[in-house]
Amino acid sequence: MYFCCSKHILFKTYFLAKKLAYTKHQRAAVEIIWIFNFLDEHISSILKGFGLTHVQFNILRLLQSEYPDVISVGEVKDRVLFKTSDVTRILDRLVKKELVERSLCEHNRRKMDLRISEKGLMLIDDVLPKLNKTLDELLTDKISEQEAALIVELLKKIRN
């Protein structure tokens, strides 16, 4: 019920934004939020089929980008896409699922090193084709490659 209510509120907010005299910048912000929620719903649905949350997948992708090297818990917290205070608990779940390996840092016994496991690498290999196919299906018919490149540049400009 909460999910439905939040969608209803988001839907009403979207149409209110269209009606109200927002500035172009405010309208752009509302559109970005709307698209984030639209994409997040589809991505989360796919990840759920693999027993992952969006944050867990993001952490696995981060660890994959460093493989075979290790990174610290602090680095994960700094670089994770979705900022959350419970990264340690999320990592505990990934370790329990045997998707991440955790070990004491050789140089600093107070730190823990993290590395994606072989099982984690294989899971990403299973998830990515389905995820990429879905994203292509959602966007290819709506925007051209040139428009996609322009959107990327504009969003980078906002972020920086």
Burial label, 83 (beta-carbon count in 10 A; 0-12, 13-18, 19+): exposed
Q: Count up the domains in the chain and report the number.
A: 2
Asked if residue 1 and residue 79 are part of one domain, the reply reads: no
Chain segment 38-86, per-residue pLDDT in tens: 999 999 999 999 999 999 999 999 999 999 999 988 888 888 877 767 8
31: its two tokens = 């559109």
Over residues 84-92, the mean pLDDT reads 85
Indicate if 33 and 77 belong to the same structural domain: no
**Which domain covers residue 19, as residue numbers?**
1-49
> What is the mean predicted confidence (pLDDT) over 104-114?
79
Q: Please, where are the H alpha helices in 20-117? A: 24-49, 54-66, 73-79, 87-96
DSSP character for 100? E
Does one domain contain both 149 and 82?
A: yes
pLDDT tens digits, 1-20: 234 445 555 665 666 656 66
